[in-house]
Chains A and B, each alone.
Chain A
């Protein structure tokens, strides 16, 4: 826990402008020199329901949502009102005010819109406020907004009240509003912002301790989501073709790419289904364009077919899998890391693909770039795994992280001049799948349709050197071995430079205990490790990104160096622990799992608690919505 931090939660109904308001407020905090991390919680609907965004801001590094929060702006739900007194939808009777109280820290602040919410209806509200030393401000934001002509401006009024209570100055907020809002609505919004701000300063005595922290960045920062990271990584690698079908949370990446690709001279295609989407990416790549597609779990299930075809035909493509909680439609707007085995093994035959799971928006950028390099250099499908958490959370990243050269290389692709000296069969066909392996890495260079002298056939059947269907056992073994060899080559390539490893390490070099995690749970683990070491434990952690080919060397070294380890992941069946044991064939007795699958990402405190239970013998039940799964030998 950062010593001095604001965790501001704005809560209300979908449609209350919570997303846009929080995005601007987060940017304002970042501009004022703070590190920022946002967390989105929303239902699968367009209007109403209970939704909130948390913004955590501190002068220290923040890369998780933190534990609980200390400032609540409860807007109420202006869309869930129903003239029929008793009608409600789902859990509509739960007012945003009551649903949000359990995690509010002692001494925290509550602003609620008394125009929509009646605190006296909330059971035990007064008592709880007193008990927890909450500072409560019931303010009629609704009437304020109505006076200025637009009820939806309650959110702006709320920001004004927030800024006043935190003693923030309004400059950055105003600047951002000016950038983001059309002239017509800017004026009333600015007025209401100031009115709310002034009213608080004039009419209220402050007794709370919370103030806006102060910080300073030593370089230019940008507020980036995991989806931005993936999309920008793809653009910088020269990806100029995307095909997709809408599905939460993958849609974020798809939308960003669709906005920018036409301006970048590329093509974006929204198509009939995910089978088509991945197949289009294959077709574009086959014709010589860097291409990608992607989906979330359900749509990715449809991509099994083209994914297998990419493996067999050795056509480079990059797919994004933005996980959400399953099975089936699951929790469409909630994070989970339950698709791991699905991603690694879906499609018939032996898997021959690259899978990376970045842990932060910056890693999403870097590893998407690496995924394209692996895909095109080794003619193999590469999958970037993100999830609802990473795709939608924003974090400040130094702008310099994106200041890198584009890389439009198609990998081992021959020019017409090179094709003249390339191997051909007697009929004149280019031996695209030659048994000779020029670089001894499993990769045979390809030609592209329309090139002179490059004619070949590509097929999802097993094939001979020029691509014709071939069932001969010796050819089969040769082709299979060459394809599988690429995974070894990629592993060697990734291990060759420890500096650029995709794995992330936290904590001291030497420690008694370890925590292992993968993908987006990394941020909460980092923070938990810091806290545990501050409390006198001896802990280090590894965030694994290389899932296939597995980061065997690094994980082995890590696990050899600790007495036991906690494996932290968001699913019910300890999939990553299973993968680790399968890949390494040892350490089973060392690995206890800490699992969470309630639809919410880990908070650092939950990992701290899990760790403490584990080293105390692992018999207590966690108080949080987590589960400890004892170690099993290999």
Chain B
């Protein structure tokens, strides 16, 4: 008898179930790439066989954080940069949940960079979507960690002196076991990648290019992108760490010149997820912890049994 009957429910799922209904209407600007993430998620979730009630969407702050207002599921809209630690723990507490974390590039690669690095290192079984528009949108167009060098904004009036962060390379080095880049302007690829990311056992990181027509009018997401899996110019093995590393490095370099490469960059299906590792050393129960609180027959251990060492 489960206390969480939405988990593992087998039925036909209609993508409209993920639309919240009458309210709220999205407040994203017309032409915003965030609509692309929303649409791709609504398409991918039913294909993975996940219902709104077994999905926990954990978001950060910014335009991306509004995602769980517009995608109907269980949702936790957290604080700036902190979606990953909240999401990680929810997954450990109830591994049956489909846990998705989402945030912007400032949220994920800036303020949340430390959590990004360690969540990837630990290889938690979850999907992380970073809305990468190379800008801080909701605070009105400041330079972000992914903004190109020389980017001018009100907080960088002479143009940024910094090289942008390398999100794919950082992800690989940190230990993510599925790394892809997709774009809002490529809905089919986006849906496919999100589906794979959710099905992947381990930390799946999707750098999702979302154009910002309001603050980043010259953003590269408008230019035609190249799908590295579809193109004959790029021949590399996504399972080979070394080749993936070189491909990512090149992808991050050519982005500066305006060439947008997307697709799967690294897939490691052999690496156990954190949950498996933790169970292997006996530090995580086989049964979901969250179920225990609804089990009237469960024998709760007591501290009284620990007192011998204090006598």
Give chain A's interface residues, CB within 8 Å of chain B.
Answer: 27, 31, 220-224, 228, 231-233, 235-236, 238, 240-241, 243, 260, 262-269, 271-273, 275-277, 279-284, 286-291, 305-306, 308-309, 313, 365, 399, 402-404, 406, 408-410, 413, 415-416, 426-429, 448-461, 467-469
Nearest residue, chain A, Cβ from B291? A288
Which of these, B72, B93, B282, B304, contacts A399 with CB under 8 Å? Answer: B304
B280 proximal to A (CB < 8 A): no
Q: Which residue of B lies closest to A410 (CB)?
A: B293
Query: Can you name 22 A-B pairs with beta carbons within 8 Å?
Result: A27-B310, A222-B307, A233-B303, A241-B89, A271-B85, A276-B82, A279-B86, A284-B93, A289-B289, A402-B302, A406-B302, A416-B3, A428-B21, A448-B3, A448-B94, A449-B97, A450-B4, A451-B6, A452-B9, A455-B72, A456-B74, A459-B77
| A residues in contact with B301, CB < 8 Å | 235, 263-265, 406
Judge whether B73 and A281 touch: CB under 8 Å. Answer: no
- Decide if B115 touches A429 in the complex (CB within 8 Å): no
A562 to B258, CA, bound (A): 78
Contact status of A280 and B85, CB under 8 A, knowing A313-B76, A449-B97, A450-B96: yes
A contact residues around B284 at 8 Å (CB): 262, 267
Q: Within the complex, what minimum Cβ distance (angstroms) separates B42 from chain A?
A: 15
Flag if B93 contacts A288 (CB, 8 Å): yes
A409 proximity list for chain B (CB < 8 A): 293
Q: In the bound complex, what is the Cα–Cα distance between A272 and B58 (angstroms)?
A: 19
Cβ distance A464 to chain B, nearest Cβ, rounded Å:
9
Q: Which residues of A contact B306 (CB under 8 A)?
A: 232, 235, 260
B94, A450: Cβ atoms closer than 8 Å: yes
Contact with A along B269-311 (1 / 0, CB 8 A): 0000000001000111100011011100010111110110011
Q: Which single member of B7, B21, B84 contacts A450 (CB below 8 Å)?
A: B7
Chain A residues contacting B106 (CB-CB under 8 Å) are none
Closest to B73 in A: A455
Residue of B nearest to A231 (CB): B303
**Chain B interface residues (CB < 8 Å from chain A):** 3-7, 9, 20-24, 52-54, 56, 58, 61, 66, 68-69, 72-79, 82, 84-90, 92-94, 96-97, 114-115, 117-118, 278, 282-285, 289-290, 292-294, 298, 300-304, 306-307, 310-311
Residue from B52, B89, B117 in contact with A455 in the complex, judged by beta carbons closer than 8 Å: B52
C-alpha gap A402/B77 in the complex (Å): 39
Q: Please, how many angstroms separate the alpha-carbon atoms of A399 and B6 in the complex?
A: 44
Across the interface, name the chain B residue whose C-beta is closest to A272. B118
User: Is the pair A309, B78 in contact by a Cβ cutoff of 8 Å?
Assistant: yes
Question: Contacts of A264 on B, CB cut-off 8 Å?
Answer: 301
- Contacts A289-B289, A306-B79, A429-B20 hold; do A403 and B90 have CB atoms under 8 A apart? no
The listed residue (B4, B86, B293) touching A238 by CB distance below 8 A is: B293
**Residue contact B292 to A457, C-beta cutoff 8 Å:** no
Q: Which residues of A contact B292 (CB under 8 A)?
A: 240, 265, 408
B84 to chain A, nearest CB (A): 8
Residue contact B90 to A309, C-beta cutoff 8 Å: no
Contact B310 A223 (CB under 8 A): yes
- Decide if A286 touches B76 in the complex (CB within 8 Å): yes
Q: How far in angstroms is the closest Cβ of chain A from B117?
A: 8
Interface pair A450/B290, CB less than 8 Å apart: yes
Q: Is the CB of B311 within 8 A of A220?
A: yes
Contact B20 A452 (CB under 8 A): no
Residues of B near A281 (CB, < 8 A) are: 89
Contacts of B290 in A (CB 8 A): 287-289, 448, 450
Shortest A161–chain B CB gap in Å is: 26
A461 to chain B, nearest CB (A): 7
Whether A451 pairs with B3 at a CB distance below 8 angstroms is: yes
Q: Which A residues touch B285, using CB under 8 A? A: 265-267
Tell me, in angstroms, the Cα distance from A460 to B72 when the chains sit together. Answer: 18
How many Å lie between the Cα of A452 and that of B6 in the bound state?
Answer: 5
The closest CB in chain B to the CB of A220 belongs to B311
The reply to whether B56 and A460 form a contact with Cβ atoms under 8 Å apart is no
Contact B307 A399 (CB under 8 A): yes
Extra 8 A-B pairs, beta carbons < 8 Å, given A267-B285, A454-B74: A263-B301, A267-B93, A267-B278, A279-B85, A283-B89, A287-B290, A448-B4, A449-B74
B254 to chain A, nearest CB (A): 32
Q: Nearest A residue to B87 by beta-carbon distance?
A: A283
B21-A402 in contact (CB<8A): no
The smallest C-beta distance from B97 to any residue of chain A, in angstroms, reads 5
Complex interface: chain B residues within 8 A of A27 (CB)? 310-311
Which residue of chain A lies nearest to B4 when distances are taken between CB atoms in the complex? Answer: A450
Bound-state Cα–Cα, A538 to B92, Å = 57
* Complex partner residue of A276 from B85, B96, B304, CB under 8 angstroms: B85
Minimal Cβ-Cβ distance residue in B for A266: B289
- A453: nearest residue on chain B (CB-CB)? B53
* Contact A287 B20, beta carbon cutoff 8 Å: no
Contact A460 B78 (CB under 8 A): yes
Q: Is the CB of A280 within 8 A of B89?
A: yes
Q: Which residues of B contact A450 (CB under 8 A)?
A: 4, 6-7, 53-54, 56, 74, 94, 96-97, 290
B93 to chain A: which residues have CB within 8 Å? 241, 267, 283-284, 287-289, 291
Question: In the complex, which residues of chain A have a beta carbon less than 8 angstroms from the beta carbon of B303?
Answer: 231-233, 235-236, 365, 402
Query: Which residues of B have CB within 8 Å of A221?
Result: 311
Q: What are the residues of chain B within 8 A of A410 when measuring CB–CB? A: 293
**Which residues of A lie under 8 Å from residue B90 when comparing CB positions?**
283-284, 286-287, 449
Complex-state Cα separation, A280 to B124, whole angstroms: 13
| Best-surrounded residue of B5, B74, B115 (most CB of chain A within 10 A) | B74
Given the interface pairs A428-B21, A449-B97, A468-B69, the reply to whether A458 lies near B77 with Cβ below 8 Å is: yes
A334 to B20, CA, bound (A): 54
B181 vs chain A, min Cβ distance (A): 25
* A283, A309, A365: residue with the most chain B Cβ atoms closer than 10 Å: A283
On whether the beta carbons of B302 and A467 are closer than 8 Å, the reply is: no
- CA–CA, A264 to B293, complex, Å? 14
Q: Nearest Cβ distance between residue A316 and chain B, in whole angstroms?
A: 12
Q: Determine how close the nearest CB of chain A comes to the CB of B300; give it in whole angstroms.
A: 4
- Chain A residues contacting B114 (CB-CB under 8 Å) are 272-273, 276
A231 to B307, CA, bound (A): 12
Bound together, the chains give a CA A74 to CA B6 distance in angstroms of: 66
Q: Please, which residue of chain B has its CB at the minimum distance from the CB of A406?
A: B300
CA distance A286 to B293 in the complex (A): 13
- A residues near B77, Cβ cutoff 8 Å: 457-461, 469
Q: Is the CB of A275 within 8 A of B85?
A: yes
Which residue on chain A has the smallest CB distance to residue B118?
Answer: A272
Complex contact A276–B118 (CB within 8 A): yes
- The answer to whether A306 touches B82 (Cβ under 8 A) is yes
Residues of B within 8 Å of A235, CB to CB, are 301-303, 306
Q: Is the CB of B304 within 8 A of A291?
A: no
Q: Which residue of A lies closest to B7 (CB)?
A: A450
From residue B276, how far is it (CB to closest CB) to chain A in Å? 14
By the criterion CB–CB under 8 Å, are A280 and B86 in contact? yes
Instruction: Point out the residue from B66, B68, B88, B117 that lies within 8 Å of A283, measured CB to CB.
Output: B88
Contact status B283-A267, CB under 8 Å: yes
Provided the pairs A283-B88, A289-B290, A458-B75 are in contact, do residues A268 and B94 lie with their beta carbons within 8 angstroms?
Answer: no
B289 touches A283 (CB 8 A): no
Across-interface contacts of A268 in B (CB, < 8 A): 283
**A305 adjacent to B5 (CB under 8 Å):** no
Contact A284 B92 (CB under 8 A): yes
Among A228, A243, A399, A457, contact of B75 (Cβ-Cβ < 8 Å): A457
Bound Cα distance A281, B90 (Å): 9
B121's nearest neighbour on chain A, judged by CB, is: A272
**If A265-B285, A279-B82, A415-B294 touch, does A408 touch B300 (CB 8 Å cutoff)?**
yes
* One of A240, A282, A426 near B86 (C-beta < 8 A): A282
CB distance from A451 to the nearest CB of B (A): 6
CA distance A241 to B283 in the complex (A): 11
A275 to B113, CA, bound (A): 12
**Roughly how many angstroms separate A272 CA and B113 CA in the complex, as a whole number?**
11
Complex interface: chain B residues within 8 A of A267 (CB): 92-93, 278, 283-285, 289
